[in-house]
Structure 1
Amino acid sequence: MKHYEVTRHAVDRAVERLGISRPQAAGHIRNLMQTAFYVGDLSNEHGHRTKAFDHIKSRTRLIVDGIRVVTVYKMADPLAPVEDSPTASTPLITELPDELKTVLKRKSDVLIVRHKRELRSLTIQLAEKNLEIAQLELNRAKARAHKIIAVIGAKITVARSEYASINEKANAIKSEIESIEKGVAAYV
């Protein structure tokens, strides 16, 4: 694990742009650097070269000079290319060939259809669980004995926890579908 120094300017920018509290900013930046991807070199107006790293999950770009993190900012688009100087030896790919776009689109459509089927199944399970809870609520309202009311109450608690679990899975699948759609939209 490489150790990075964090400049005061980077801490100030993390507080301002990322909303991190000042005492936690340096540690947060170091954590981002551990999983950030190198995306290219940048040149400033004086010709000094720095390296750009993207932390895709948090949509944060970090500018590094050697082992010093100089500044951080939010990315408008996590897949945006780094503006490189014309003297670079390897040009950045900014456009995918049509064949790759077609394959990427087809594969993402297959994934989305699979996720939507699973989501539909979970939605049915949620509706059935709602029906079960409603039936238990009705039985509890009709019951007169305290022991029966307590037993039905316990069953309702279990059913509600199962409902929450299924709902959590459904929400995860929804966010997965959204991320696939956004990821493909950046290339297609």
Structure 2
Amino acid sequence: MKKYGVTKHAVDRAVERLGYDRGSAVGCINNLMQTAHYIGDANDHNGKTSRIFDHIKSRVRLVVIDNKVVTVYKMHEGLAPIDATPSINPNPINGLPDELKTVIKRKSGAIIVRHKRELRSLTIQLAEKNLEIAQLELNRAKARAHKIIAVIDAKITVARSEYASINEKATTIKSEIESIEKGVAAYV
């Protein structure tokens, strides 16, 4: 179980916003972090990058900088109205109509399929680029003339930059797929 540092500010906000007891706030925040979902990164006004985590079940958002929870707050409420009796409807997201859940599943599924096709195409391009780089490196190893070695080195540099560009696109698509799946999991 990974332990996160918890700042005094986060403890103060947990007491104020979430109603936790001051003595148990650090433990409660660490428990929330164990099952929280990573949402993304955000930059604050000082230029520091913070990581945003959502604990869907309790509707709590946690902001982490350098493995320290710096603040916590309640997430905005879901689309469905909240019943006054939590035993009937403990999670407002479950109150979405079945038709809406079906539409969300269908549309997100179509988007994910489209992204996976593009990812498969990019994976093939990466493999072909790797093959091209390997062939160029083989040619470079066989070459003896300095001019030819210089030309091959230039081609290898270009091929590696193209590989990095394709790999960046593939990584972006993978993260988009993950974020779509996490977003849908919150509502369906």
- TM superposition score normalised by structure 2: 0.58
The answer as to 2:62 corresponding to 1:59 is: no
- In percent, how many aligned pairs have the same letter? 66
Letter in 2 for 1:177: I
Q: Give 1:171 deviation, angstroms.
A: 0.7
* Bigger CA radius of gyration: 1
Mapped partners of 2:76, 2:104: distance in 1: 15
Mapped partners of 1:139, 1:159: distance in 2: 14
Q: Give 1:151 deviation, angstroms.
A: 1.1
The within-5 A match list for 1:34-113 is: 58-59=52-53, 72-73=71-72, 86=84, 93-94=92-93, 95-113=95-113
- Which SS does the other structure have where 1:178 is aligned? helix
Equivalenced residues, count: 135
Asked if the contact 1:139–1:152 (Cα under 8 Å) also holds between the matched residues in 2, the reply is yes
- Which SS does the other structure have where 1:154 is aligned? helix
For structure 1, the residue ranges without an aligned partner over 5 or more in a row are 1-7, 19-26, 32-54, 63-70, 87-91
Asked if the contact 1:108–1:184 (Cα under 8 Å) also holds between the matched residues in 2, the reply is yes
- The residue that corresponds to 2:33 in the other structure is none
- The residue that corresponds to 2:116 in the other structure is 116
Letter in 2 for 1:183: G
- The residue that corresponds to 1:171 in the other structure is 171
- Which SS does the other structure have where 1:58 is aligned? strand
Mapped partners of 2:10, 2:76: distance in 1: 24
- The residue that corresponds to 1:10 in the other structure is 9
Asked if the contact 2:112–2:177 (Cα under 8 Å) also holds between the matched residues in 1, the reply is yes
Mapped partners of 1:170, 1:115: distance in 2: 10
